[in-house]
Structure 1
C-alpha cells in the first residue's frame, strides 16, 4: 500500500512511516525537532535506544533503498520519533510505493 503524506511525531514515541513492507522510501523532516529514523524487519516497533540516523529539519532521503539505509539488518519497515531537545514534536513528509 503506497503512502504520500506528512506524519506528525510526538517526542520520544516511535511512529511507523511505512504502511506495509517496502524496499525504498523518500522522507524529509519538514518541521519541528530533529528526528531519529530506524528500520525493523516487521511491524513491531523498535525498542528504547534503537540504533538509527538523526535528521535535522530540512534533511531527508530521496528514494533510498532500505538495504542502503540500514545495511546491517533486513529492514522492511521504517520508524521515526522526534528526538530533539525540549520535547518538541516533529513532522516528516514520507512517500513510498
Structure 2
C-alpha cells in the first residue's frame, strides 16, 4: 500500500495524485462540510463548471477504477476542494 496524506485548504483545488492513475482508494478527514472531487486528463486545474463528486467524512472509495468514478474520458488526475473547512485526504495508490 502506498498511502499518502494530502492537506487540502478550504475553497481551492488541490491535486491529490502526482502520477496518472487507473484506479484509486481514498478516505477523508473533514471537520465541517464536504469535499468536492473533480478529475482531469492532465495536471491542469479543473474548470469550475465541470461536474464533480461530493463526499463527506467518513466516506471515500476503495480500489475503484477512474472510469467508474468519473465520466471524463481518460481521467487520470484527481483534485479535491473542501467546501466548508480544510480537509485531509488519504489516498492509496495501490501496490
Give the TM-score category using the shorter length: 0.7 to 0.9
State the Cα distance separating 1:29 from its structure 2 match: 1.1
Alignment correspondent of 1:12: 11
Q: TM-score, normalised by structure 2?
A: 0.87
Q: Is the 8 A contact 1:3 1:18 kept in 2?
A: no
Gaps of 5+ in 1: none
Counterpart secondary structure, 2:57: coil
Gaps of 5+ in 2: none
Quickly say closer, same or farther: Cα 1:50–1:83, change in 2 above 3 A. farther
Distance 1:81 1:3 in 2: 22
4+ runs deviating over 4 angstroms: none
Q: TM-score, normalised by structure 1?
A: 0.85
Deviations 1:37-67 (A, max 9, x none): 1111111011224311000010000011001
Alignment correspondent of 2:26: 27
Number of aligned residues? 93
RMSD: 1.6
Indicate yes or no: 2:93 matched with 1:96.
yes
